[in-house]
Amino acid sequence: MVGSALTAPERLRAYFRNVSQGPQIGGAAILQTLSDLSSACVDGASPARDAVAFSLSTIFGLHADDRSERPVTGDDNYQFIATAFDDLSRAIEFVCNDTSDEGAVAGRIVAALD
């Protein structure tokens, strides 16, 4: 269980780390939770961080919608993690650690997520 004393980015990172350790990462409910946690990170404090968090929220949400409408196989989960894990991890770390408006870095992250 993720504690409520954590900030929104810390909750996102902790949840992602927890679910990415097993096959549940590809489930629609898990992806929707990741979308919701990402959305909570959009707080107006940093446009760069907000852009990356919004992109994460959109990507997780689209995958959740897609997977809620059909059976999900182990291969679906493998493909999702194999192709996106590094970019998703980097984006989540950016959301957690951004202390300045690194627009160029955020732009590269968002482009990689697309």
Give residue 46's region: left, alpha or beta (phi > 0; psi -120 to 50).
Answer: beta
Whole-number pLDDT of residue 42:
95
Whole-number pLDDT of residue 83:
84
- Overall domain count for the chain: 1
The model carries a pTM of: 0.83
**Spans in the chain with pLDDT lower than 50:** 1, 3
Residue 1: inside a domain, yes or no?
Answer: no
Residue 74: inside a domain, yes or no?
Answer: yes
Q: Which domain holds residue 96?
A: 8-113
Residue 64: inside a domain, yes or no?
Answer: yes
Residue 88: inside a domain, yes or no?
Answer: yes
At CA 111, angle to CA 36 and CA 28, rounded to 5?
A: 30
